[in-house]
Structure 1
Amino acid sequence: MQERILDVNYSNIIASKTTFLPNNLKYLTQYAYHFSNITNISKILTDGMLYCRNHKDLKNCDVHDNASPEVINHTNKLVKDYVRFYFRPKTPTQYRNEGILSEDAIINSNLHAHCPIPVFLVFDINAILNKPNSYFSHESLASPNKVDIFNTPQDLSRAPFEHIYHFNYISEEEDKQLIIKRRHAEILVKKACNLHGLKHIYCRNTAELNTLKSLLHPQILNIYDKIISIPKNPRDFFNNEYLQIKNVYLDSNNDLFVKWINPCSETFKFKTEIYAITNGNWKLVCQGHNDSYNPYTQMTNNLYWKSSDYLKSGEKFLIRIYLDNNLIYTNIHTSSLMTSIL
């Protein structure tokens, strides 16, 4: 690798090499992308840092591992010393692990990867590539073999962008495995990366956006609130193939209703917790369990949780919902009884 030249306009280099992209997708080349489960994103925003997989500050943390154990175990150990970004959203990895899957579905899948609620951190690509400890590859680093990494504008200009930004169906005439590898081309930052250059924090829908905001301390939320949003074109970022939360609300009696997108007939362990303020602290006042929960059956029959008997007093309630021990939703709701009084 050659000596670094800093303050390079890398986005212009990429733009000059991606004139083949339709106009509606060209904006994607201006950014570097890191996606992870919503609970991990909450910690990243709280810490103000992204850490590599081997970093000491992650050793004792409760981190949701989005990756396939099989892929990670066969990835060169040196790669785990880098924070990893992609040149694009909707990589093949994201297609495999995005969305809520049951434990049985994960076990029966080929790679056992799972990111139930993906959130994107979208960075100015120049801010990332101009870091003195940043590098990039022309293909996936998830390989037991040595993959070349680079750090110069000349090497970037030689990248196979026609495959890195290949968004269409792969035809029979094309080299499928090569395109898949190159769609996974990565940007790397050694050890740790601050959040300088973070432009957008993208969630799939309003329920997940509210969950992320609820997970953040008010001081942290104040820093990022203006850039947490749903993308104007969600299909540019998310596949939306599997189960996801749509809406959670208390009806006029304070009974709990949960609505899903893509409700499936798979079975989950469902748990809900509802907290009320007592002496300035949140206290658990109601909880429900169902170890054979079927979202499709619940939606089809308009079933709900009879929580009203426990929510007769109090103005606000904190609601949490878990599927197979994964936090799916949390937010503060105003009592419907108080609303009707007002």
Structure 2
Amino acid sequence: MLPLTEICNKLQLFEAERLELVYDKTISIRQTTVHVVDNHSIYTTTPWNSFMVMMDLPGKLCEALLLQNFENEMRDLRSIRQQKINMENELMQTISQENAALFTEITISDDPMQLLINGLDKQDPQYKGYVYHYTHLENAVSILNEGKLKSRNSAEGQFKNSAALNVIKSTDPSVKNYARFYFRPITPTQFCNENLGKNGSIERFGNDLMCPVPIFFKISLKDLANIPDLQWKISTGNMASYRSKSDNTLDIVKLFDFNGVYESPSDEYRYQHSSQQEYLIESELNLYLVYNDLSIICQNDLAMNSVKQLLNDNNAFLDKIFVDSSFYHNKNAKINIDNDEHRLTVSLNGSKEQGEIIVKFYNSVDDQFEIKGDIGLILNNNSIISVYVKQHITLMINLKNINYSVFYISQDENWLVYTNSRMPLLHLVERNGK
């Protein structure tokens, strides 16, 4: 028998849109998601890391690697998969029945967008009638200064990434051509990455998932409906799910879970599935086309002040910025900031497995100052002082005389948390002082 490492080195993976087993090259036997040839060529449907492939692939790999006594574990996996499939099928049946009843109560339009709006208008929650985009402070400022909310591909290299790496990898690459919105705040994704996110996200998602200062864009569906030639579609679930369908046809709108889109976490499965149905706009959205009923929703006054501070003085969206904490879960660890004329206190509220707080300030008049806290490092570069701490820092100085910023850094990604300045001091000083 060959050593395991040698067998692994010989394995080759191939992806295909469709796999079908045939007899005598012409007689179809059945479709499959995974097929192994000669214990070294593995064929899967695309994407290879989809849920359906992942349920079949472990067993096929065990066979290809000639591993023994894995049958019980594979049987358990198949049982779990079947339970999930049964739950999905039951939910699809429920949605079909509920939508049939709903459509007897509303005007059935031949226009897919109007049917979508009519169906949502029959729901009770305060969030109906709008779509929502959620992003970090620095991204929000870029969007507002440019007046465009872009797709991931259009904004490549210009944004702070709050998405889970493993989820992005398993999502259809074409989705990156769309600006993505949910029909509500308070979603499971938001629960995972709001503020400093959940501990354990590196193991689960592949990165330290966070959105330190989350900002919501609230956009009217009726305003979107009035944009000529807007290229849009909706999904029947999160676009990272292999079972989600997306389009802007009547058939897809009729599959939308109208009654479940605003579901509370008490119905966990339906909440996970339906609260993250998406509205997608190809390439980008010009915010001036939805200006009248646009709102920018911040978690607190500090976030709102930072957004306004970073915007250009004549920015058209300054009067569209508000605070409403009900749009947020408010459960994850976050950076607390307290200040008055002579004192700035920054602290970590909650626990994080890694990461550092950085306070930077520009002491142009050489005021005397005092720093207290669990200080790890202080750097001074031409009167720009950077202080690194893990949990807590208090800076005592006349704050009227200084420009300052607060950052959180994790996995070599730095996130602006608060600032009273537009100065270039927002560029972080590296640990080597360069």
TM over 0.5: yes
Cα shift readout 1:185-231 (whole Å, capped 9, x = no counterpart)? 000111111112252101101111111111212122xx112111112
**Among 105, 129, 148, the residue aligned to 1:49:** 148
Secondary structure of the equivalent of 2:134?
strand
Letter matched to residue 184 of structure 1? Q
The change in CA–CA distance for 1:7 and 1:246 in structure 2 (over 3 A counts) is: same
Partner residue of 1:206?
A: 301
Q: Larger Cα Rg: Structure 1 or Structure 2? A: 2
Cα shift readout 1:35-57 (whole Å, capped 9, x = no counterpart)? 011111111111111111122xx
Cα shift readout 1:265-285 (whole Å, capped 9, x = no counterpart)? 75532211112668xxxx963
Letter matched to residue 321 of structure 1? V
The change in CA–CA distance for 1:123 and 1:146 in structure 2 (over 3 A counts) is: same
Query: Are 2:110 and 1:11 equivalent residues in the alignment?
Result: no
Partner residue of 2:96?
A: none
Within 2, Cα distance between the matches of 1:129 and 1:243? 38
Contact 1:35 1:121 in 2 (8 A): yes
Partner residue of 1:31?
A: 130
Provide the alpha-carbon RMSD of the alignment.
3.1
Secondary structure of the equivalent of 2:394?
coil
**Length-normalised TM-score, structure 1:** 0.74
Secondary structure of the equivalent of 1:29?
coil
**Among 407, 411, 416, the residue aligned to 1:327:** 416
The change in CA–CA distance for 1:272 and 1:167 in structure 2 (over 3 A counts) is: same
Partner residue of 1:135?
A: 233
Q: Which has the higher contact order (CA 8 A, sep 6+)?
A: 1
Query: Are 2:368 and 1:273 equivalent residues in the alignment?
Result: no
Query: Are 2:265 and 1:164 equivalent residues in the alignment?
Result: no
Query: Are 2:273 and 1:181 equivalent residues in the alignment?
Result: yes
Contact 2:187 2:275 in 1 (8 A): yes
Contact 1:13 1:157 in 2 (8 A): no
Within 2, Cα distance between the matches of 1:54 and 1:180? 26
Within 1, Cα distance between the matches of 2:222 and 2:240? 24
Structure 2 residue runs without a partner (length 5+): 1-109, 366-380, 422-434
Within 1, Cα distance between the matches of 2:274 and 2:352? 35
Q: What is the aligned length?
A: 289
Structure 1 residue runs without a partner (length 5+): 333-342
TM-fit CA distance, 1:290: 2.6
The change in CA–CA distance for 1:273 and 1:218 in structure 2 (over 3 A counts) is: same
Letter matched to residue 244 of structure 2? V
Identity of aligned residues (%): 24
Letter matched to residue 306 of structure 2? T
Letter matched to residue 269 of structure 1? E
TM-fit CA distance, 1:305: 2.4
Partner residue of 1:338?
A: none
**1:115-154 mapped onto 2 (5 Å cutoff):** 115-131=211-227, 132-143=230-241, 145=242, 147-152=244-249
Query: Are 2:318 and 1:225 equivalent residues in the alignment?
Result: yes
TM-fit CA distance, 1:167: 1.7
Letter matched to residue 358 of structure 2? K
**Length-normalised TM-score, structure 2:** 0.60
Secondary structure of the equivalent of 1:80?
helix
Secondary structure of the equivalent of 1:169?
coil
Cα shift readout 1:283-308 (whole Å, capped 9, x = no counterpart)? 963524235x12xxx3xxxx5224x3
Query: Are 2:174 and 1:85 equivalent residues in the alignment?
Result: no
Letter matched to residue 289 of structure 1? V
Within 2, Cα distance between the matches of 1:105 and 1:319? 31
Contact 1:14 1:157 in 2 (8 A): no
